[in-house]
């Protein structure tokens, strides 16, 4: 069963941008590449991460339908959601990565302060360098700055990466009218200013 078929079977409501992501990930069990997926805030990144965690776990093993993934390792699948609760320097975390077949990194930059922290940027880059080449990585995030972890992956990360960038507005159309009307997105753009809008919502940092 494909990831798309699994998501539909569960009765999930699938928005158009989520379908784009799921279709991109549909071959995750048959490929050696990693995935960088850039989406606006509040677009359901964590929901996709949870669906994917359950799918690849079921693909590897027969599991109960409900499994907790948050910051834990479960039968070869690891989901990292909160960077502050996950110390990449600890030897224990490095050792568990060796057993991880699928690593789902879910929106680990939580605010502008974290995104602009030089030390945090360094820690994240160093941690990504420790990920074994055999581990398949799916990184779901919103962009913050040119030097955030998304920018590093685009320019420097080892291995083969498939890239999906979904801007909030493209060709004058909202990426998901059910979640954000074009009018609402224009209001957000006005309140944020061009720099934060281009990074967070258009996935194209300009600084």
Residue 64: predicted pLDDT: 38
CA nearest 132: which of 94, 175, 161? 94
In the chain, the number of structural domains is 1
* Contacts of 20 by beta carbon, 8 Å cutoff, 6+ apart: 164, 166
Domain that holds residue 151: 3-168
- Which is more confidently placed, 67 or 141? 141
HEC sequence for 56-69: HHHHHCCCCCCCCC
Query: What's residue 56's pLDDT?
Result: 82
For residue 76, give Cα distances in angstroms to 72, 99, 156: 10, 6, 26
- Whether residue 182 is predicted with pLDDT greater than 90 in this model: the reply is yes
Q: Tell me whether residue 192 is in a domain.
A: no
Residue-wise pLDDT for 2-15, tens only, equals 887 888 777 677 89
> pLDDT (tens digit, 9 = 90+) per residue, 143-179?
999 989 999 999 987 778 999 999 999 999 999 999 9
Query: Does 35 fall in a domain?
Result: yes
Distance CA 197, CA 9 (A): 35
**Quick check: is 103 in a domain?**
yes
Report yes or no on 39 lying in a domain. yes
DSSP state of 99: T
| Residue 176 within a domain | no
What are the pLDDT digits (tens) for 108-140? 888 888 888 898 888 888 888 888 888 889 999
pLDDT tens for each residue of 54-81 = 888 776 654 333 334 444 444 466 667 6
- Note whether residue 196 is domain-resident: no
What is the per-residue pLDDT for 81?
64
Distances from the Cα of 140 to the Cαs of 45, 62, 135, 184, in angstroms? 6, 25, 16, 23
Establish if 173 belongs to a structural domain: no
| Average pLDDT of the segment spanning 23-27 | 87
Distance separating alpha carbons of residues 84 and 75, to the nearest angstrom: 23
Indicate which CATH number applies to the domain containing 22.
3.40.50.300
**109 found inside a domain:** yes
């Amino acid at each position: 069963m494909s990831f798309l078929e699994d998501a539909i079977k569960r009765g999930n409501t699938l928005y158009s941008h989520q379908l784009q992501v799921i279709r991109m990930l549909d071959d995750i069990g048959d490929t050696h590449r990693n995935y960088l997926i850039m989406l606006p805030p509040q677009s359901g990144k964590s929901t996709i991460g949870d669906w994917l965690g359950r799918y690849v776990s079921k693909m590897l093993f027969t599991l109960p339908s409900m499994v907790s993934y948050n910051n834990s390792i479960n039968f070869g699948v690891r989901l990292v959601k909160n960077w502050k609760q996950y110390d990449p320097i600890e030897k224990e975390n490095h050792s568990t990565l060796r057993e991880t077949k699928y690593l789902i990194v879910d929106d680990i930059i939580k605010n502008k302060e974290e995104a602009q922290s030089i030390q945090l940027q360094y820690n994240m880059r160093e941690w990504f360098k420790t990920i074994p080449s055999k581990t398949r990585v799916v990184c779901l995030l919103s962009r913050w700055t040119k030097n955030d972890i998304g920018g590093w992956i685009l320019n420097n990360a080892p291995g083969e990466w498939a890239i999906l960038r979904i801007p909030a507005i493209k060709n004058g159309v909202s990426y998901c009218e059910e979640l954000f009307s074009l009018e609402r997105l224009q209001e957000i753009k006005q309140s944020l200013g061009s720099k934060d809008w281009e990074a967070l919502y258009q996935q194209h940092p300009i600084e």
